[in-house]
Structure 1
Amino acid sequence: MADIEYLVFDDALRDTGTRAVFDRTVQAVNDGTARRVKLSRGQGFDTAGEKLLGSAVLEYALGLVPADEFDAAAARDFSERMRALFGWHDITYTLTHWVETRLCSPYFENRGTDWSPDWQLRAGADASDLPESFFEFSCYVAIGELKHGPSYASVSANRIFDWVTKLGSDLPERLKKHGTGELPPELAAFRGTGDAEGVTAKANDALATIRIAVKHETAGSYGAVLDYLTTLLDTTDFPRSYAIEFRGPTKQYLPVKKLPKKSVNQLFACAAAYPELWPKIAAYARAAMSEYDWYTNLDGADCAMPGTFAVFALGIAEAVSGGNDHVPLVLDYLREVDGEHQSLHEHVLAAHIDAHGFDDVGLAYLVACAGNIQELQHRKTYPALIANERSLRALLALREPAETPDPSGTSALAANLRGEPVADYAWRHVLYAIWGSAAETRDANGGAGATLIAAAPAELRPLYEAILA
């Protein structure tokens, strides 16, 4: 590759003379003196004028160590320094490839398909010579996938755990029982006292699970739970996709049709019953929201970004009280959520409009949802609900919102495919959600919404014309 101006791992294999610069770079990473530089393709280092690809340095540090000399702790520490420099995304391929090369390829065969693999030990495979350090480092990689990788990296993590187990190590089982041991003891296992007596929580950072139990239905109990969750997410590198499993004395769920009646729903529905806890619910939601992460014990149509039920509970409870202090949080959530894969927010929007009509808040939620969801459904009740001057004027005020510099991925992609601005794409979805196909019907002159405008009361017709223009 003559057009590449930096060294890659193959250079160290072909030319032993280049290994000195790799060694110096590895030492600089370990010393904390290495600095990342941008290369023509990717990122790397510049050591005494010689450029090296970052992943090549990691591959060199791991790949040339003989099995009987491999130090899992040293390899983990080096990988963590590389993660700090480049991020997990840039090193995950090298790390998982190391595991595949050392554990999978020599001992396993895929008896399934590429799409549905079934890794089984080869006949006669003898793994007795594998050092424990290989298992330790492989499990570090698996846990890194859970902590720092995208939500689907759990597939890679579980595959690695499975390989290690089938090769005869009980380390995955120990991790699944006790976690990594890296969480502070008070977060790995919490027991409430005083007003929070009867609250217990356990977090396992290897499994990405949080188990919570509340014995007494009190504000103190739920306040302690919320503080615990927020501290766990804010002060540790606990996986950003995780499961919350909750047990409590009150089987109460958010009053929204089609929301899954899971325990995480129950937790925040109960907590939101105490207005004094609303700031704590908001704090947890801010700590939890992460666009491409998920509650891992919700699947399919019920998938939800962490923080989802906290935001829903807060928005619903505050609307009933007549407040709007946390509307900005709900709007931030609706703009951040991965609308390409999640649609639960549509049900909460419908519930708000059913309960409060097309008020300013409901319209703001509608516009946010329309810009960040695949299919926002029209409901037959909407045309009558919005047919009043106050609601129409509020909608018109949102006709040309300031376009954000970072629109949602869903609306940006869809608008780009249609060759139109993001704001126009979202606005058409707003109109369709309210009036259905009638908003798209055109008259002989090409005017949109002709039948709606013609049927509107005379005093409201100018508003319809402005909105549908």
Structure 2
Amino acid sequence: MRELNYLVKIEGNEALLEKFVKAIDNNTVKIDKAYPNPYVLDSGEKFLLDKIIEYFFQTRSFSKELYISFFEKLRKLNGFDSYYYSLGKQTEKLVFDTFGRVKKGNSNISKTEENLPKTILTENEKELLSFLCYLAVSHIKYGPSYASVTANEYFDIVTELGSDEVEQLKKYGTGKLSKELTEYKDKDFVGKANDVFAKISLKLITETEESYAKALNFVNNLLKSDFPKSFEISFSSKTKELLPVKGLPKCGQNYFFAGAVKYPNLHNGILEYIALTKTKYEWYTNLEAENCAMPSTFAVFALGLQDEKYFDTLIDYYKKVDGEHQSIHEKFTPVFLEKFGITEKSIKVFINAVLSMQEHPHNKTFVSYFTNENSLKLLLDSKENFVSDYFTEEDLKEYSNSGENPQEMADYCWGSIMYTIFGQSEGFAKISKQLTDSEREIFEKLL
């Protein structure tokens, strides 16, 4: 067997593990950059983190304050995703061992035995369930959007075991954010936010630039704090407008940015919102399935239809979006072309839009934008300069590491672009016949 350069066995290494726990407490431990990223002492010894966590649970009597302090240090050191699985596994075992009426599921705790009378919780049991709430909240705040499934399972267990903490969290949030951040009310606007369930509620009493500015400022200040990066916006006002993009869901974020974007003085605030929410693998939690969207989406669409000075904002969005799981932005492309047509600048937006998905659908209206000499020349120029214009340094590095040829990848991508614009290749001959001689000559170079 291959000899590991790090330790994974607890038995016989207790003294060394104590040093790792103390090093984490004292913020002196380091992390090896090589997978699986063992933790490293100043003296050079290495240990896998999940075994350090297991040892911590074995040797420290449960104390909510002690446990939260330790795991918050781990989070600040290397992020929640570096240890959430190990922490979850150990916490579930502790809950299962403490509460006899909790069932053991396939891989984790599931629910309490039915028809068993609820007992009065001891102080230690209350603290343990409160720690389980802490773990659930951490999933919501620091995990991807689908981590809310795990969080809700934990919340259900806490409630079934007789704690009212989940109900308190629903009403008041964690309490870690100040009321100045989570609550606002005046004659123009009422805002309220819950950092546990990642909900932002906006109610405009007056329909003015000032009221929209207050709402936008309320949201941005929240997002600069320790508020979940996946969240939902609910919006209420006397009149509601939607973005002029057919097929977008009617939701709070659609109404809010459709109204706010009408005021040019608020555009910088919207750009700030986009910068705060342009995070891959984070989502609006009130949208699902084919409508799932990165939380910057509706703000980007709103600005993207205002002026070509926001083209870079669109391109940056397309490069960041998770095209494997999100497709809602395909609805924006036809509206963008209708507004701006094909120019030297807009074609870069269009091609980045196509590249932002596994396969951007063909739309028959696209053909008319590209069957003229100027657009065909711009398209040919894009093909000839594809690698330099559309592949980032990160793309080129990834292709190099995987042995892919950038030009071969460019050719593959070009096939997708041709399909999105002109449809199936079987129809290319028909399109070619409708072109002038000079247009046909360019068109054939595109094939």
Alignment of 1:420-459 (within 5 A): 421-438=408-425, 449=428, 452-459=431-438
- Greater Cα shift, 262-271 or 84-93: 84-93
1:246 aligned residue = 235
Q: Deviations over 1:337-370 (max 9, x none)?
A: 1111211111111112234333345422321122
- 8 A Cα contact 1:210 1:243, kept in partner: yes
2:43 alignment partner AA: A
2:50 aligned residue = 55
1:288 alignment partner AA: T
1:225 aligned residue = 215
Indicate how the Cα distance of structure 1 residues 144 and 43 shifts in structure 2: closer, same or farther if over 3 A, else same. Answer: same
- 259, 263, 278: which is aligned to 1:274? 263
Deviation at 1:232, TM superposition (A): 1.6
Residue segments in structure 1 that go unaligned for 5+ positions in a row: 442-448
1:315 alignment partner AA: G
Indicate how the Cα distance of structure 1 residues 424 and 275 shifts in structure 2: closer, same or farther if over 3 A, else same. Answer: same
Distance 1:124 1:249 in 2: 49
1:95 alignment partner AA: L
2:247 alignment partner AA: K
Alignment of 1:41-440 (within 5 A): 41-46=36-41, 48-66=43-61, 70-104=62-96, 106-109=100-103, 119-121=111-113, 128=121, 131-192=125-186, 197-234=187-224, 236-316=225-305, 318=306, 323-399=307-383, 400-401=385-386, 402=388, 403-407=391-395, 421-438=408-425
Deviation at 1:312, TM superposition (A): 0.4
Indicate how the Cα distance of structure 1 residues 384 and 37 shifts in structure 2: closer, same or farther if over 3 A, else same. Answer: closer
Deviation at 1:238, TM superposition (A): 1.1
2:284 alignment partner AA: Y
* 3-state DSSP of counterpart to 2:148: helix
- Greater Cα shift, 350-359 or 265-274: 350-359
Q: Size of the alignment, in residue pairs?
A: 436
Distance 2:20 2:284 in 1: 39
- 8 A Cα contact 2:432 2:443, kept in partner: yes
Distance 1:182 1:353 in 2: 45
Distance 1:436 1:107 in 2: 60
Deviation at 1:165, TM superposition (A): 1.0
1:366 alignment partner AA: F
Distance 2:438 2:46 in 1: 72
Percent identical residues = 34
TM-score by length of 2: 0.89
1:462 alignment partner AA: E
Indicate how the Cα distance of structure 1 residues 420 and 97 shifts in structure 2: closer, same or farther if over 3 A, else same. Answer: farther
- 8 A Cα contact 1:107 1:125, kept in partner: no
- Greater Cα shift, 417-426 or 323-332: 417-426
Q: Deviations over 1:247-278 (max 9, x none)?
A: 12221001111011112100000001111211
Whether 1:465 aligns to 2:444 is yes
**C-alpha root-mean-square deviation of aligned residues, in Å?**
2.9
* 3-state DSSP of counterpart to 2:77: helix
- 8 A Cα contact 1:37 1:46, kept in partner: no
- 8 A Cα contact 2:110 2:157, kept in partner: no
2:198 alignment partner AA: A
Deviation at 1:394, TM superposition (A): 2.1
2:6 aligned residue = 6
Q: Deviations over 1:102-126 (max 9, x none)?
A: 2246533368x889x9634267598
Distance 1:466 1:200 in 2: 58
TM-score by length of 1: 0.85
Distance 1:283 1:62 in 2: 42
- 8, 17, 25: which is aligned to 2:20? 25
1:160 alignment partner AA: Y
- 8 A Cα contact 1:396 1:466, kept in partner: yes
Deviation at 1:467, TM superposition (A): 2.4
Indicate how the Cα distance of structure 1 residues 140 and 451 shifts in structure 2: closer, same or farther if over 3 A, else same. Answer: same
Indicate how the Cα distance of structure 1 residues 288 and 393 shifts in structure 2: closer, same or farther if over 3 A, else same. Answer: same
Deviation at 1:388, TM superposition (A): 1.6
Distance 2:350 2:85 in 1: 40
1:457 alignment partner AA: T
- 8 A Cα contact 1:349 1:362, kept in partner: no
* 3-state DSSP of counterpart to 1:259: coil
Q: Deviations over 1:271-316 (max 9, x none)?
A: 0111121111111011111111110011121111101100001111
2:126 alignment partner AA: E
Distance 1:104 1:453 in 2: 70
1:22 alignment partner AA: L
Distance 1:22 1:114 in 2: 27
Distance 2:227 2:317 in 1: 21
Indicate how the Cα distance of structure 1 residues 423 and 229 shifts in structure 2: closer, same or farther if over 3 A, else same. Answer: farther
- 8 A Cα contact 1:371 1:425, kept in partner: no
Distance 1:180 1:21 in 2: 36
2:4 alignment partner AA: I
Indicate how the Cα distance of structure 1 residues 168 and 416 shifts in structure 2: closer, same or farther if over 3 A, else same. Answer: farther
* 3-state DSSP of counterpart to 1:374: coil
Indicate how the Cα distance of structure 1 residues 65 and 110 shifts in structure 2: closer, same or farther if over 3 A, else same. Answer: closer
